[in-house]
Structure 1
Amino acid sequence: MAAMCVSLLPVLRNYYIAVKVLLQQLLCRSFTLPDLPGQDGKVAFVTGGSRGIGYYTAKHLAKHGMHVIIAGNNEADGNEAVRRIQEDTLNEKVEFVFCDLTSMKSIRNCVQNFKARNLGLHVLINNAGVMLVPESRTEDGFETHFGLNYLGHFLLTNLLLDTMRKSGTHDFNARVVTVSSATHFTGELNFDDLQPRHCYSSHGAYAQSKLALVLFTYYLQQQLTAEGCYVTTNAVDPGVVNTDLYQHVSWPGRFVKWMAGWLLLKTPEEGASTSIYAAISPDLEGIGGCYLYNGERIKSADITYNTDVQKKLWALSCKMAALPALT
């Protein structure tokens, strides 16, 4: 009984945050993208760009003239997304690459193949994710939310940073944009059990992964600033968006989504707006270490500013991803 009560806490916390955000979305106008400059000659890499928020992010970047690389683990969906974006934007420089974020080997192979082409990289959108999946492990033995949402993007970003350092300039810093969530406010990091094996909660695991992404963003920005390189990194919160991520939500939640989704939830295109803004808006030139919601900088959870927690998570993540302590 005690274990059941403990496991219910993340559920209640997540639904509290969801209701709070939904009320904000109902009462406030969605963020509308301003006119943004063309990005001809620049390269963007978007994880999970085949559908949902990622698809519309990739589409808008292609519309602005970028060479867009969509990374995903479903080749059929990826190629279909490429076809549609090319058709809608008349930009032929859109392509799909295979990258399974649940596999360290796949991530390393993807980056190796990308670097062999000697392309620049001006924007990295860490967008892909899973939500509330049943307890499972990645190929490398990590809890799925932590392994895919967080650790996969941690490794991918670190492996691509040298290319981004070379691509960034004084006039246009290369940018890392990482999609987090308001659920990070409810997230808790248990450094003794980061891959929860006791009283597993999919809600708690999801919130933990989104919290880790914000901590990672802030600590990475500290390193980039210390280096003096032309790369910035920011975290974004898309809001509560009507996407396929809700397939693992309990039936009452799916029923509410079906009944009121058109009124309360953002469309995937609306959800993509802040990611696009963070990726190419002149307003954020040279600005990093921010948490963005509806196109504005807001305060994230108090724990995300704790440099000791940031540093500890970074060190453990490097160990798990087989990376040097500092890259």
Structure 2
Amino acid sequence: MGIEGYIHKWATTLWTYLVLYLLGAWYMVKELLVPHRTPTGITNQKGRVAVITGGGRGIGLQTVRQFLLLEMTVIIGGRDVKSIEEAVSRLRSEGVNTGTVKCFEMDLCSLASVRNFAKTFTNLGMPLHVLVNNAGIMFWPWNVTEDGHEHHWSVNYLGHFLLSHLLAPHLAASSTLNQPSRVVNLSSSIHYMGGINFNDVNNKKNYSPQRAYAQSKLAQMMFTITLNERMAKQGVLALAVHPGVVATELFQHVTWAKTFPRLASTFLKTPSQGSDTVVYVALSQEVKEGGHYYENCQCTQPAAAALKSDDRNRLWDLTCRQLDIQEFGKV
């Protein structure tokens, strides 16, 4: 790479960095000024089953907490089963005594692990009413998984696409006219700044963790819309959520949040607040249609890039090729 190439790479990375952080700053100010909304239109959920990824900490754990208080059965998939079980034990010690929890290993960096988790769930013989694709990473340095996929792409998007494919038959079989099954994807406001590099989704040539994160979140949003189009007739709604700018371990690679933790806790939402829109979209009877994007318990417009049907279909086909899926939901 010549000097011009280095200058271009440096300038592009700096511009991406500035734009993403300015967007994040705008959302933090917005969330300070706009009152936080809590879920409405939700009744007791006894007898219903939810699967959630990354449910051992942060937004995921608080989502589990709310599901349990509503008497749901919750199946948690995560890398460290022991730490998840310890987190659930803390919830129990805090007085969350309703609902049922089961924890199983699932590493979204490993497609084989995702398949094993789906097989384990199938063997339980349970219905499935809600799938929350919650687990995620943000701004990680360059690396690839055992399957050769960039980490943001695999954890935030590809692994969840595969899981949704494998569990789709259970979601369709459990849906009713009055209570459609739902897939909830945790996207982010950063998806507004994302673009899909169809020629190299790993972004190996000019890797930027900020661009990789934004790309994965846009992919989630595009997946949500297409999934809803393809599964609505089977009674399955797909929805996407921006939980807010939340103080979680996602910020472990964000310099200012590590350097000024007290400042971060002042300006960022709590994980409990972050879970509110997730729970609202997953369970509220006020949510009648899928294919939408929610912030602060309200439906809002996603990025224009997510609405381009040609690009969404191109992404869908690319993903199916990466995962060797012949027909989505046919397992």
Structure 2 distance, partners of 1:86, 1:169, is: 31
> Counterpart of 1:234 in 2: which secondary structure?
strand
Aligned-residue sequence identity (percent) comes to 36
The one-letter code matched in structure 1 to 2:62 is: Y
Is 2:284 aligned against 1:277? no
Quote the residue 1:34 is aligned against: 40
Equivalent position to 1:108, from 106, 115, 127: 115
Q: Is the 8 A contact 1:242 1:265 kept in 2?
A: yes
Q: Distance in 2 between matches of 1:85 and 1:104?
A: 30
Any conservation in 2 of the 1:221–1:289 contact (CA below 8 Å)?
yes
2:71 counterpart letter in structure 1: G
The correspondence of residues 220-235 of structure 1 with structure 2, limited to 5 A, is 220-225=227-232, 228-235=233-240
Distance in 2, matches of 1:55 and 1:271, equals 11
Give the corresponding residue for 2:69.
63
Corresponding residue for residue 211 of structure 2: 204
2:149 paired residue number: 142
Which of 272, 289, 292 is the aligned partner of 2:291? Answer: 289
Q: Does the CA contact (< 8 Å) of 1:4 and 1:199 recur in 2?
A: no
For residue 9 of structure 2, what is the aligned residue in structure 1?
Answer: 3
Provide the residue aligned with 1:246 in structure 2.
Answer: 251
2:20 is matched by which residue type in structure 1? N
Q: CA contact under 8 A between 1:82 and 1:96: conserved in structure 2?
A: no
Question: Is the 2:48–2:73 Cα contact (8 Å) retained in structure 1?
Answer: yes
Q: What is the distance in 1 between the residues matched to 2:209 and 2:76?
A: 27
The 3-state SS of whatever aligns with 1:164 is helix
CA distance in structure 2 between the partners assigned to 1:325 and 1:166 by the alignment: 17
Q: Which moved more, 1:20-29 or 1:85-94?
A: 85-94
Q: In structure 2, how many angstroms separate the alpha carbons of the residues matched to 1:280 and 1:97?
A: 23
Conserved 8 A contact 1:86-1:94: no
Q: Secondary structure at the match of 2:104?
A: strand
**Matching residue of 1:316:** 318
2:185 aligns with 178
> Which residue pairs with 1:163 in the alignment?
170
Q: CA 1:259–1:86 in structure 2 vs 1: closer, same or farther (change >3 Å)? A: closer
Q: Distance between the aligned counterparts of 1:129 and 1:107, measured in 2?
A: 14
**Offset at 1:84?**
2.6
CA deviation digits over 1:143-176, x for unaligned, max 9?
Answer: 0000111000000001100000000000110010
- Return the offset for 1:320: 0.7
Q: Could you tell me which runs of 5 or more consecutive residues in structure 2 were left unpaired when the two chains were aligned.
A: 1-6
Q: Deviations over 1:50-104 (max 9, x none)?
A: 0000000011011101001111001221111222334432125112111111111
Deviation at 1:34, TM superposition (A): 2.7
Amino acid at match of 1:309: D
How far apart are 1:29 and its partner, in Å? Answer: 1.0
User: Under a length normalisation based on structure 2, what TM-score does the superposition of the two structures give?
Assistant: 0.94
* Gapped regions of structure 1 (runs ≥ 5): none
Give the deviation of 1:198 after TM superposition.
1.1
- On the 8 A contact 1:45/1:69 being kept in 2, the answer is yes
Give the aligned residue type for 2:55.
G
Supply the distance in 1 between the matched residues of 2:246 and 2:230 (Cα, whole angstroms).
32
Cα RMSD (Å): 1.2
Q: CA deviation at 1:35?
A: 5.9
- Give the counterpart letter for 2:13 in structure 1: S
CA displacement at 1:193 relative to structure 2: 1.1
1:255 aligns with 2:259: yes
CA distance in structure 1 between the aligned counterparts of 2:253 and 2:55, rounded to whole angstroms:
20
2:290 partner amino acid: G
Is this contact kept in 2: 1:62–1:85, CA < 8 A? no
Distance in 1 (CA, whole Å) between partners of 2:45 and 2:257 is 40
